[in-house]
Amino acid sequence: MPDSANSQRHRRAVSALNRGDLRAMAGECEAIVAADPDFADAWFLLAIAAEARRDLPGALAQLERAVSLAPDNSDYLAQQAKLLALLNRPAAALAAADAALAAGEPRALALDTLGVVFTRLGEHARAARVLQRAVDAAPSNAQFHFNLASAQQFLGDESGARAHYERAIDLQPRFARAYWALSELEKTAPDTTRQARLEALAADPALGAVDRLYIGHALSRLYEQRGDYPAAFAALCEAKNAQRERIAYDRAQDEALFAALQQGFTAADPEPRPPQQDWTPLFIVGMPRSGTTLVERMLSAHPAIAGLGELQDFPHAVKAASGERSPRVLDPAVIAGALEADPEQIARTYRNALETRGGTPAPGTRYLADKQPLNVLQLGFILRALPAARVIIVRRDPLDTCLANYRQLFAVNFSYYNYAYDIADTAHYYCLFDRLCRHWHTLYGARIHALQYEQLVEDPRQTLGAALDYLALPWDDACLDFHHRDGAVTTASAMQVRQPLYRDAIGRWRKYEKEMAPAIAELREQGVTGV
Protein backbone atom coordinates (compact mmCIF):
# COMPACT_ATOMS: atom_id res chain seq x y z
CA MET A 1 0.00 0.00 0.00
CA PRO A 2 1.50 3.40 -0.90
CA ASP A 3 2.65 5.64 1.92
CA SER A 4 -0.02 8.20 1.03
CA ALA A 5 -2.76 5.64 1.69
CA ASN A 6 -1.34 4.90 5.15
CA SER A 7 -1.08 8.62 5.82
CA GLN A 8 -4.75 8.98 4.96
CA ARG A 9 -5.62 6.09 7.24
CA HIS A 10 -3.60 7.71 10.00
CA ARG A 11 -5.45 11.01 9.60
CA ARG A 12 -8.75 9.15 9.76
CA ALA A 13 -7.55 7.29 12.88
CA VAL A 14 -6.63 10.54 14.63
CA SER A 15 -9.99 12.03 13.63
CA ALA A 16 -11.76 8.97 15.06
CA LEU A 17 -9.79 9.34 18.31
CA ASN A 18 -10.77 12.99 18.60
CA ARG A 19 -14.46 12.15 18.29
CA GLY A 20 -14.18 9.19 20.68
CA ASP A 21 -14.72 6.42 18.13
CA LEU A 22 -11.99 4.06 19.32
CA ARG A 23 -13.28 1.10 17.33
CA ALA A 24 -12.94 3.02 14.06
CA MET A 25 -9.52 4.26 15.16
CA ALA A 26 -8.34 0.73 15.90
CA GLY A 27 -9.64 -0.53 12.54
CA GLU A 28 -7.65 2.10 10.66
CA CYS A 29 -4.51 1.39 12.70
CA GLU A 30 -4.74 -2.38 12.21
CA ALA A 31 -4.82 -1.78 8.47
CA ILE A 32 -1.81 0.53 8.77
CA VAL A 33 0.41 -1.93 10.65
CA ALA A 34 -0.64 -4.77 8.36
CA ALA A 35 0.81 -2.77 5.47
CA ASP A 36 3.68 -1.16 7.41
CA PRO A 37 4.67 -2.79 10.73
CA ASP A 38 7.12 0.06 11.36
CA PHE A 39 4.44 2.77 11.58
CA ALA A 40 5.08 3.74 15.21
CA ASP A 41 2.10 6.00 15.78
CA ALA A 42 -0.34 3.31 14.67
CA TRP A 43 1.00 1.05 17.42
CA PHE A 44 0.66 3.93 19.88
CA LEU A 45 -2.99 4.47 18.92
CA LEU A 46 -3.68 0.73 19.11
CA ALA A 47 -2.31 0.79 22.65
CA ILE A 48 -4.74 3.57 23.55
CA ALA A 49 -7.62 1.49 22.18
CA ALA A 50 -6.47 -1.60 24.11
CA GLU A 51 -6.21 0.39 27.35
CA ALA A 52 -9.76 1.66 26.83
CA ARG A 53 -10.86 -2.00 26.60
CA ARG A 54 -8.94 -2.61 29.88
CA ASP A 55 -6.54 -4.93 28.10
CA LEU A 56 -3.50 -3.52 29.88
CA PRO A 57 -1.04 -6.30 28.92
CA GLY A 58 -2.08 -5.99 25.27
CA ALA A 59 -1.80 -2.21 25.43
CA LEU A 60 1.70 -2.45 26.89
CA ALA A 61 2.84 -4.88 24.17
CA GLN A 62 1.63 -2.49 21.47
CA LEU A 63 3.13 0.51 23.23
CA GLU A 64 6.48 -1.26 23.44
CA ARG A 65 6.38 -1.71 19.66
CA ALA A 66 5.89 2.03 19.30
CA VAL A 67 8.73 2.80 21.74
CA SER A 68 11.08 0.39 19.95
CA LEU A 69 10.44 2.28 16.71
CA ALA A 70 10.67 5.76 18.27
CA PRO A 71 12.67 5.45 21.51
CA ASP A 72 12.92 9.22 22.05
CA ASN A 73 9.22 9.99 21.70
CA SER A 74 8.15 11.44 25.05
CA ASP A 75 4.44 10.84 24.33
CA TYR A 76 5.07 7.13 23.86
CA LEU A 77 7.34 6.90 26.90
CA ALA A 78 4.84 8.73 29.11
CA GLN A 79 2.07 6.35 28.06
CA GLN A 80 4.39 3.39 28.64
CA ALA A 81 5.11 4.67 32.16
CA LYS A 82 1.37 4.96 32.81
CA LEU A 83 0.69 1.39 31.68
CA LEU A 84 3.57 0.00 33.72
CA ALA A 85 2.29 1.83 36.80
CA LEU A 86 -1.22 0.46 36.25
CA LEU A 87 0.29 -3.03 35.95
CA ASN A 88 2.02 -2.55 39.32
CA ARG A 89 5.55 -2.50 37.91
CA PRO A 90 6.83 0.58 39.75
CA ALA A 91 10.53 0.32 38.94
CA ALA A 92 9.91 -0.06 35.20
CA ALA A 93 7.30 2.72 35.30
CA LEU A 94 9.74 5.08 37.00
CA ALA A 95 12.44 4.27 34.44
CA ALA A 96 10.04 4.99 31.56
CA ALA A 97 8.93 8.25 33.19
CA ASP A 98 12.53 9.35 33.64
CA ALA A 99 13.24 8.47 30.01
CA ALA A 100 10.26 10.55 28.87
CA LEU A 101 11.54 13.60 30.73
CA ALA A 102 15.05 13.06 29.40
CA ALA A 103 13.85 12.75 25.79
CA GLY A 104 13.26 16.49 25.45
CA GLU A 105 10.51 18.85 26.51
CA PRO A 106 7.34 16.74 26.58
CA ARG A 107 4.06 18.19 25.43
CA ALA A 108 1.53 19.32 28.02
CA LEU A 109 -0.53 16.13 27.83
CA ALA A 110 2.56 13.97 28.31
CA LEU A 111 3.61 16.10 31.29
CA ASP A 112 0.19 15.64 32.85
CA THR A 113 0.38 11.88 32.26
CA LEU A 114 3.81 11.76 33.87
CA GLY A 115 2.58 13.76 36.85
CA VAL A 116 -0.22 11.28 37.42
CA VAL A 117 2.31 8.43 37.11
CA PHE A 118 4.59 9.99 39.72
CA THR A 119 1.57 10.41 42.02
CA ARG A 120 0.69 6.74 41.63
CA LEU A 121 4.30 5.79 42.36
CA GLY A 122 4.37 7.87 45.54
CA GLU A 123 6.76 10.46 44.07
CA HIS A 124 4.50 13.32 45.11
CA ALA A 125 6.99 16.19 45.08
CA ARG A 126 8.08 15.22 41.56
CA ALA A 127 4.44 14.88 40.57
CA ALA A 128 3.68 18.44 41.69
CA ARG A 129 6.66 19.84 39.79
CA VAL A 130 5.78 18.05 36.56
CA LEU A 131 2.08 18.88 36.85
CA GLN A 132 3.00 22.54 37.35
CA ARG A 133 4.87 22.37 34.04
CA ALA A 134 1.76 20.90 32.41
CA VAL A 135 -0.37 23.77 33.76
CA ASP A 136 2.21 26.32 32.62
CA ALA A 137 2.17 24.80 29.13
CA ALA A 138 -1.64 24.61 28.93
CA PRO A 139 -3.12 27.04 31.48
CA SER A 140 -6.65 26.71 30.09
CA ASN A 141 -6.89 22.94 30.69
CA ALA A 142 -9.16 22.36 33.69
CA GLN A 143 -8.10 18.72 34.19
CA PHE A 144 -4.44 19.73 34.45
CA HIS A 145 -5.32 22.22 37.20
CA PHE A 146 -7.31 19.52 38.99
CA ASN A 147 -4.42 17.03 38.88
CA LEU A 148 -1.97 19.64 40.17
CA ALA A 149 -4.37 20.55 42.97
CA SER A 150 -4.64 16.89 43.99
CA ALA A 151 -0.86 16.57 44.18
CA GLN A 152 -0.62 19.74 46.26
CA GLN A 153 -3.34 18.47 48.59
CA PHE A 154 -1.41 15.24 49.15
CA LEU A 155 1.64 17.32 50.05
CA GLY A 156 -0.33 19.46 52.50
CA ASP A 157 -0.27 22.62 50.35
CA GLU A 158 -3.86 23.55 51.16
CA SER A 159 -3.81 27.06 49.68
CA GLY A 160 -2.20 25.91 46.44
CA ALA A 161 -4.69 23.06 46.10
CA ARG A 162 -7.64 25.37 46.73
CA ALA A 163 -6.43 27.87 44.11
CA HIS A 164 -6.11 25.24 41.40
CA TYR A 165 -9.41 23.52 42.22
CA GLU A 166 -11.08 26.92 41.96
CA ARG A 167 -9.30 27.61 38.67
CA ALA A 168 -10.48 24.25 37.32
CA ILE A 169 -14.06 25.23 38.18
CA ASP A 170 -13.63 28.66 36.58
CA LEU A 171 -12.50 26.98 33.38
CA GLN A 172 -15.13 24.23 33.51
CA PRO A 173 -18.16 25.34 35.57
CA ARG A 174 -19.70 21.84 35.56
CA PHE A 175 -16.51 20.14 36.82
CA ALA A 176 -18.29 18.08 39.46
CA ARG A 177 -15.23 16.32 40.83
CA ALA A 178 -13.47 19.64 41.42
CA TYR A 179 -16.44 20.92 43.45
CA TRP A 180 -16.25 17.78 45.59
CA ALA A 181 -12.47 18.00 46.07
CA LEU A 182 -12.75 21.66 47.02
CA SER A 183 -15.46 20.83 49.55
CA GLU A 184 -13.06 18.40 51.25
CA LEU A 185 -10.72 21.31 51.97
CA GLU A 186 -13.35 23.62 53.43
CA LYS A 187 -13.39 23.97 57.21
CA THR A 188 -16.44 26.25 57.18
CA ALA A 189 -19.40 26.52 54.85
CA PRO A 190 -18.59 28.38 51.61
CA ASP A 191 -20.54 31.40 50.43
CA THR A 192 -24.08 31.19 49.12
CA THR A 193 -22.88 31.58 45.53
CA ARG A 194 -21.28 28.15 45.54
CA GLN A 195 -24.30 26.66 47.30
CA ALA A 196 -26.54 28.02 44.54
CA ARG A 197 -24.26 26.54 41.88
CA LEU A 198 -24.23 23.14 43.57
CA GLU A 199 -27.98 23.09 44.06
CA ALA A 200 -28.53 24.04 40.43
CA LEU A 201 -26.27 21.22 39.27
CA ALA A 202 -27.95 18.73 41.61
CA ALA A 203 -31.33 19.70 40.14
CA ASP A 204 -30.15 19.26 36.56
CA PRO A 205 -31.66 16.02 35.16
CA ALA A 206 -28.87 15.85 32.59
CA LEU A 207 -26.23 15.37 35.29
CA GLY A 208 -24.71 11.88 35.05
CA ALA A 209 -24.71 9.41 37.94
CA VAL A 210 -21.00 9.80 38.76
CA ASP A 211 -21.09 13.60 38.57
CA ARG A 212 -24.22 13.49 40.72
CA LEU A 213 -22.20 11.63 43.34
CA TYR A 214 -19.56 14.36 43.44
CA ILE A 215 -22.11 17.18 43.61
CA GLY A 216 -24.21 15.37 46.22
CA HIS A 217 -21.20 14.84 48.47
CA ALA A 218 -20.14 18.48 48.11
CA LEU A 219 -23.67 19.65 48.96
CA SER A 220 -23.88 17.28 51.91
CA ARG A 221 -20.67 18.64 53.38
CA LEU A 222 -21.93 22.20 52.92
CA TYR A 223 -25.23 21.46 54.67
CA GLU A 224 -23.41 19.64 57.47
CA GLN A 225 -21.14 22.63 58.04
CA ARG A 226 -24.27 24.74 58.46
CA GLY A 227 -25.75 22.28 60.94
CA ASP A 228 -28.56 21.08 58.68
CA TYR A 229 -28.02 17.36 59.20
CA PRO A 230 -31.28 16.11 57.65
CA ALA A 231 -30.48 18.03 54.46
CA ALA A 232 -26.90 16.73 54.52
CA PHE A 233 -28.05 13.12 54.72
CA ALA A 234 -30.77 13.66 52.11
CA ALA A 235 -28.19 15.04 49.66
CA LEU A 236 -26.09 11.91 50.13
CA CYS A 237 -29.08 9.61 49.68
CA GLU A 238 -30.20 11.28 46.47
CA ALA A 239 -26.74 11.09 44.93
CA LYS A 240 -25.87 7.60 46.15
CA ASN A 241 -29.19 5.98 45.28
CA ALA A 242 -28.68 6.74 41.60
CA GLN A 243 -25.23 5.13 41.66
CA ARG A 244 -26.47 2.12 43.64
CA GLU A 245 -29.13 1.47 41.02
CA ARG A 246 -26.54 1.82 38.26
CA ILE A 247 -24.10 -0.71 39.73
CA ALA A 248 -26.75 -3.11 41.11
CA TYR A 249 -24.77 -3.93 44.28
CA ASP A 250 -25.34 -7.50 45.46
CA ARG A 251 -24.66 -8.29 49.12
CA ALA A 252 -24.25 -11.96 48.23
CA GLN A 253 -21.00 -11.23 46.40
CA ASP A 254 -19.35 -9.82 49.52
CA GLU A 255 -20.88 -12.57 51.67
CA ALA A 256 -19.27 -15.18 49.40
CA LEU A 257 -15.91 -13.42 49.63
CA PHE A 258 -15.89 -13.28 53.43
CA ALA A 259 -17.15 -16.86 53.70
CA ALA A 260 -14.37 -18.09 51.41
CA LEU A 261 -11.78 -16.43 53.65
CA GLN A 262 -13.17 -17.93 56.85
CA GLN A 263 -13.51 -21.37 55.27
CA GLY A 264 -10.04 -21.17 53.73
CA PHE A 265 -8.28 -20.42 57.01
CA THR A 266 -9.47 -22.68 59.79
CA ALA A 267 -6.26 -23.32 61.72
CA ALA A 268 -3.39 -21.12 62.75
CA ASP A 269 -0.22 -21.36 60.71
CA PRO A 270 3.24 -22.01 62.18
CA GLU A 271 4.53 -19.74 64.91
CA PRO A 272 6.48 -16.69 63.78
CA ARG A 273 10.05 -17.09 62.66
CA PRO A 274 12.74 -14.39 62.51
CA PRO A 275 12.46 -12.04 59.52
CA GLN A 276 14.69 -12.70 56.53
CA GLN A 277 15.62 -9.02 56.24
CA ASP A 278 16.74 -6.38 58.67
CA TRP A 279 13.17 -5.06 58.63
CA THR A 280 9.78 -6.60 59.41
CA PRO A 281 6.52 -5.90 57.58
CA LEU A 282 3.91 -4.09 59.66
CA PHE A 283 0.33 -4.16 58.36
CA ILE A 284 -2.13 -1.57 59.67
CA VAL A 285 -5.62 -2.69 58.68
CA GLY A 286 -9.28 -2.15 59.49
CA MET A 287 -12.49 -0.89 57.99
CA PRO A 288 -11.93 2.17 55.78
CA ARG A 289 -12.41 5.43 57.71
CA SER A 290 -11.67 3.75 61.04
CA GLY A 291 -8.46 5.65 61.86
CA THR A 292 -5.82 3.59 60.06
CA THR A 293 -4.20 6.67 58.50
CA LEU A 294 -3.93 8.36 61.89
CA VAL A 295 -2.37 5.26 63.44
CA GLU A 296 0.13 4.92 60.60
CA ARG A 297 0.98 8.61 60.76
CA MET A 298 1.64 8.46 64.50
CA LEU A 299 3.59 5.21 64.44
CA SER A 300 5.73 6.16 61.47
CA ALA A 301 6.91 9.23 63.38
CA HIS A 302 8.90 6.67 65.40
CA PRO A 303 12.48 6.44 64.06
CA ALA A 304 12.24 2.64 63.80
CA ILE A 305 9.09 2.65 61.62
CA ALA A 306 8.90 3.79 57.99
CA GLY A 307 5.41 4.44 56.66
CA LEU A 308 4.82 3.41 53.05
CA GLY A 309 1.19 4.50 52.72
CA GLU A 310 -1.64 2.50 51.16
CA LEU A 311 -0.07 -0.13 48.93
CA GLN A 312 -1.65 -2.70 46.65
CA ASP A 313 1.48 -4.86 46.61
CA PHE A 314 0.32 -7.67 48.88
CA PRO A 315 -3.08 -8.16 47.19
CA HIS A 316 -1.31 -8.20 43.82
CA ALA A 317 1.18 -10.78 45.10
CA VAL A 318 -1.69 -13.02 46.22
CA LYS A 319 -3.50 -12.54 42.92
CA ALA A 320 -0.36 -13.39 40.93
CA ALA A 321 0.26 -16.54 42.98
CA SER A 322 -3.33 -17.68 42.47
CA GLY A 323 -2.94 -17.84 38.69
CA GLU A 324 -6.48 -16.49 38.32
CA ARG A 325 -7.35 -13.91 35.67
CA SER A 326 -10.67 -12.79 37.15
CA PRO A 327 -11.35 -9.03 37.03
CA ARG A 328 -11.32 -8.61 40.82
CA VAL A 329 -8.10 -8.56 42.83
CA LEU A 330 -9.68 -10.86 45.44
CA ASP A 331 -12.64 -13.17 45.01
CA PRO A 332 -13.41 -16.80 45.95
CA ALA A 333 -11.56 -18.12 42.89
CA VAL A 334 -8.44 -16.09 43.73
CA ILE A 335 -8.63 -17.28 47.34
CA ALA A 336 -8.88 -20.92 46.25
CA GLY A 337 -5.96 -20.58 43.86
CA ALA A 338 -3.76 -18.73 46.34
CA LEU A 339 -4.42 -21.32 49.05
CA GLU A 340 -2.77 -23.87 46.77
CA ALA A 341 0.20 -21.62 46.00
CA ASP A 342 3.59 -21.64 47.69
CA PRO A 343 3.44 -19.04 50.49
CA GLU A 344 7.10 -18.27 49.90
CA GLN A 345 6.25 -17.17 46.36
CA ILE A 346 3.80 -14.63 47.77
CA ALA A 347 6.36 -13.48 50.33
CA ARG A 348 9.11 -13.13 47.75
CA THR A 349 6.90 -11.14 45.36
CA TYR A 350 5.82 -8.82 48.16
CA ARG A 351 9.32 -8.27 49.56
CA ASN A 352 10.68 -7.55 46.10
CA ALA A 353 7.90 -5.04 45.47
CA LEU A 354 8.64 -3.20 48.71
CA GLU A 355 12.36 -3.10 48.06
CA THR A 356 11.82 -1.93 44.48
CA ARG A 357 9.38 0.73 45.63
CA GLY A 358 11.22 2.08 48.63
CA GLY A 359 14.86 1.20 48.11
CA THR A 360 17.02 0.44 51.12
CA PRO A 361 15.34 1.48 54.40
CA ALA A 362 17.12 4.11 56.46
CA PRO A 363 19.52 2.84 59.11
CA GLY A 364 17.67 1.86 62.26
CA THR A 365 14.42 1.06 60.46
CA ARG A 366 12.91 -2.10 61.92
CA TYR A 367 9.42 -1.98 60.42
CA LEU A 368 8.00 -1.02 57.04
CA ALA A 369 4.37 -0.06 57.59
CA ASP A 370 1.85 -0.97 54.87
CA LYS A 371 -1.38 0.88 55.63
CA GLN A 372 -3.90 -0.65 53.25
CA PRO A 373 -7.11 -1.01 55.30
CA LEU A 374 -8.55 -3.77 53.12
CA ASN A 375 -5.52 -5.94 53.80
CA VAL A 376 -7.77 -7.10 56.65
CA LEU A 377 -9.09 -9.45 53.95
CA GLN A 378 -5.55 -10.74 53.37
CA LEU A 379 -4.54 -11.49 56.97
CA GLY A 380 -4.61 -15.25 56.54
CA PHE A 381 -2.28 -15.02 53.56
CA ILE A 382 -0.13 -12.39 55.29
CA LEU A 383 0.54 -14.48 58.39
CA ARG A 384 1.06 -17.63 56.33
CA ALA A 385 3.50 -16.05 53.86
CA LEU A 386 5.16 -13.65 56.31
CA PRO A 387 5.08 -15.36 59.73
CA ALA A 388 7.22 -12.65 61.31
CA ALA A 389 4.86 -9.87 60.18
CA ARG A 390 3.11 -7.73 62.74
CA VAL A 391 -0.54 -6.73 62.31
CA ILE A 392 -2.48 -3.92 63.95
CA ILE A 393 -6.26 -3.98 63.44
CA VAL A 394 -7.81 -0.58 64.06
CA ARG A 395 -11.39 -0.64 65.34
CA ARG A 396 -13.85 2.21 65.74
CA ASP A 397 -17.39 2.57 67.07
CA PRO A 398 -19.60 0.59 64.65
CA LEU A 399 -22.08 3.40 63.97
CA ASP A 400 -19.37 6.04 63.53
CA THR A 401 -17.59 3.64 61.17
CA CYS A 402 -20.73 3.07 59.12
CA LEU A 403 -21.52 6.78 58.92
CA ALA A 404 -17.94 7.65 57.97
CA ASN A 405 -17.99 5.09 55.16
CA TYR A 406 -21.34 6.36 53.91
CA ARG A 407 -20.18 10.00 54.03
CA GLN A 408 -16.99 9.17 52.12
CA LEU A 409 -16.88 9.12 48.34
CA PHE A 410 -14.47 6.28 47.58
CA ALA A 411 -12.98 5.51 44.17
CA VAL A 412 -16.07 5.09 42.01
CA ASN A 413 -14.51 2.40 39.82
CA PHE A 414 -13.25 0.23 42.70
CA SER A 415 -15.92 -2.37 43.37
CA TYR A 416 -14.75 -3.19 46.91
CA TYR A 417 -16.47 -0.01 48.09
CA ASN A 418 -19.81 -0.64 46.38
CA TYR A 419 -21.43 -1.31 49.75
CA ALA A 420 -21.05 2.39 50.66
CA TYR A 421 -23.86 3.63 48.41
CA ASP A 422 -26.52 2.61 50.96
CA ILE A 423 -26.39 3.01 54.74
CA ALA A 424 -27.98 -0.41 55.42
CA ASP A 425 -25.58 -2.09 52.97
CA THR A 426 -22.72 -0.35 54.76
CA ALA A 427 -23.90 -1.75 58.09
CA HIS A 428 -24.23 -5.21 56.54
CA TYR A 429 -20.64 -4.97 55.26
CA TYR A 430 -19.51 -3.89 58.72
CA CYS A 431 -21.09 -7.06 60.15
CA LEU A 432 -19.10 -9.17 57.68
CA PHE A 433 -15.94 -7.29 58.65
CA ASP A 434 -16.66 -7.71 62.36
CA ARG A 435 -17.11 -11.48 62.03
CA LEU A 436 -13.93 -11.78 59.99
CA CYS A 437 -11.93 -9.85 62.58
CA ARG A 438 -13.21 -12.10 65.35
CA HIS A 439 -12.23 -15.09 63.19
CA TRP A 440 -8.67 -13.75 62.75
CA HIS A 441 -8.33 -13.06 66.48
CA THR A 442 -9.51 -16.59 67.27
CA LEU A 443 -6.94 -18.08 64.89
CA TYR A 444 -3.96 -15.87 65.56
CA GLY A 445 -4.47 -14.48 69.07
CA ALA A 446 -1.53 -12.43 70.28
CA ARG A 447 0.02 -12.28 66.82
CA ILE A 448 -2.53 -9.53 66.09
CA HIS A 449 -2.84 -6.30 68.08
CA ALA A 450 -6.23 -4.58 68.33
CA LEU A 451 -6.24 -0.80 68.67
CA GLN A 452 -9.41 1.18 69.44
CA TYR A 453 -9.67 4.58 67.73
CA GLU A 454 -11.61 6.23 70.57
CA GLN A 455 -9.02 5.12 73.12
CA LEU A 456 -6.26 6.50 70.92
CA VAL A 457 -7.92 9.91 70.82
CA GLU A 458 -8.70 9.96 74.56
CA ASP A 459 -5.35 8.58 75.77
CA PRO A 460 -2.81 8.54 72.94
CA ARG A 461 0.20 7.95 75.19
CA GLN A 462 -1.16 4.73 76.69
CA THR A 463 -2.87 3.42 73.54
CA LEU A 464 0.08 4.04 71.26
CA GLY A 465 2.45 2.83 73.95
CA ALA A 466 0.66 -0.53 73.97
CA ALA A 467 1.08 -0.76 70.19
CA LEU A 468 4.80 -0.03 70.53
CA ASP A 469 5.07 -2.67 73.26
CA TYR A 470 3.53 -5.14 70.81
CA LEU A 471 6.24 -4.13 68.33
CA ALA A 472 8.94 -4.39 71.03
CA LEU A 473 9.88 -0.74 70.50
CA PRO A 474 10.55 1.92 73.13
CA TRP A 475 8.36 4.97 73.47
CA ASP A 476 9.29 8.04 71.41
CA ASP A 477 7.68 11.46 71.95
CA ALA A 478 7.78 12.12 68.20
CA CYS A 479 4.73 9.86 67.89
CA LEU A 480 2.59 12.56 69.55
CA ASP A 481 3.97 15.27 67.26
CA PHE A 482 2.75 13.48 64.11
CA HIS A 483 0.81 16.45 62.70
CA HIS A 484 4.01 18.45 62.19
CA ARG A 485 5.59 15.80 59.99
CA ASP A 486 6.39 16.46 56.37
CA GLY A 487 5.56 13.94 53.67
CA ALA A 488 2.62 13.15 51.46
CA VAL A 489 -0.67 11.65 52.61
CA THR A 490 -2.82 10.24 49.81
CA THR A 491 -5.76 8.80 51.74
CA ALA A 492 -9.19 10.25 52.45
CA SER A 493 -7.71 11.56 55.73
CA ALA A 494 -5.03 13.64 53.99
CA MET A 495 -6.01 16.92 55.65
CA GLN A 496 -7.22 15.55 59.02
CA VAL A 497 -3.90 13.91 59.93
CA ARG A 498 -2.12 17.25 59.53
CA GLN A 499 -4.08 18.50 62.57
CA PRO A 500 -3.61 17.64 66.26
CA LEU A 501 -5.84 14.92 67.69
CA TYR A 502 -9.47 16.02 67.90
CA ARG A 503 -12.65 14.45 69.29
CA ASP A 504 -15.13 15.86 66.77
CA ALA A 505 -15.53 12.56 64.91
CA ILE A 506 -16.40 10.56 68.05
CA GLY A 507 -20.14 10.07 68.30
CA ARG A 508 -20.84 11.94 65.07
CA TRP A 509 -23.49 9.38 64.19
CA ARG A 510 -25.76 10.84 66.89
CA LYS A 511 -26.26 13.93 64.73
CA TYR A 512 -27.85 11.57 62.21
CA GLU A 513 -29.56 9.21 64.64
CA LYS A 514 -32.92 9.25 62.83
CA GLU A 515 -31.30 8.75 59.42
CA MET A 516 -29.09 5.97 60.80
CA ALA A 517 -32.09 3.83 61.81
CA PRO A 518 -31.59 1.24 59.01
CA ALA A 519 -27.93 0.80 60.03
CA ILE A 520 -28.81 0.51 63.71
CA ALA A 521 -31.38 -2.17 62.93
CA GLU A 522 -28.93 -4.11 60.74
CA LEU A 523 -26.15 -4.05 63.33
CA ARG A 524 -28.47 -5.08 66.16
CA GLU A 525 -29.98 -7.89 64.12
CA GLN A 526 -26.49 -9.24 63.45
CA GLY A 527 -25.53 -9.01 67.13
CA VAL A 528 -22.76 -6.43 66.78
CA THR A 529 -21.70 -5.28 70.24
CA GLY A 530 -21.71 -1.61 71.19
CA VAL A 531 -24.89 -0.67 69.30
Taking every pair of Cα atoms in the chain, the longest distance, rounded to a whole number of angstroms, is 78
Write 424-427 long-range contacts (CB < 8 A, 24+): 424/518, 424/519, 424/521, 424/522, 425/244, 425/249, 425/251, 426/402, 426/519, 427/398, 427/402, 427/518, 427/519, 427/520, 427/522, 427/523
In-domain check, residue 505 = yes
| Contact between residue 310 and residue 490 where contact means Cβ atoms under 8 Å apart | yes
Task: List all residues 6 or more positions away from 466 whose beta carbon is below 8 Å from its beta carbon.
Answer: 449, 451
CATH number of the domain encompassing residue 423: 3.40.50.300
Structural domain including 484 reads 253-525
At residue 106, the 3 state secondary structure works out as coil
Single-letter code of the amino acid located at 440? W
DSSP designation for 361: P
Please report whether residue 77 resides in a domain: no
How far apart are the C-alpha atoms of 363 and 35, rounded to whole Å? 57
Domain assignment of residue 68, yes or no: no
pLDDT of residue 3: 60
Q: Is residue 59 part of a domain?
A: no
**How many domains does the chain contain in total?**
1
The rounded distance, in Å, linking the Cα atoms of 267 and 264 is 9
Distance CA 295, CA 284 (A): 8
What does the pLDDT read at residue 498? 47
Cα angle: 453, vertex 454, 459; to 5 degrees = 100
- Flag whether 25 is in a domain: no
Q: Is residue 361 part of a domain?
A: yes
Mention every residue, 6+ apart, whose C-beta is less than 8 A from residue 525. none
Taking each continuous run of H as one helix and of E as one strand, the counts in the chain are 25, 5
What are residue 391's phi and psi, to 5 degrees?
A: -135, 125
Encode the chain (531 residues) as per-residue pLDDT tens digits: 456 899 999 999 999 999 999 999 999 999 999 999 999 999 999 999 999 998 999 999 999 999 999 999 999 999 999 999 999 888 899 999 999 999 988 999 999 999 999 999 989 999 999 999 999 999 999 999 999 999 999 998 999 999 999 999 999 999 999 999 999 998 888 888 899 999 999 999 999 989 999 999 999 999 999 999 999 999 999 999 989 988 889 999 999 999 999 999 998 776 666 655 678 999 999 999 999 999 999 999 999 999 999 999 999 999 999 999 888 899 999 999 999 999 999 999 999 888 877 667 888 899 999 999 999 999 999 999 999 999 999 999 999 999 999 999 998 888 889 999 999 999 999 999 999 999 999 999 999 999 999 999 999 999 999 999 999 999 999 999 877 655 555 544 445 544 678 788 899 999 999 999 999 999 999 999 887
User: Residue 88 domain-assigned?
Assistant: no
Task: Give me the pLDDT at residue 1, please.
Answer: 47
Would the pTM of this model clear 0.85, i.e. be above it? yes
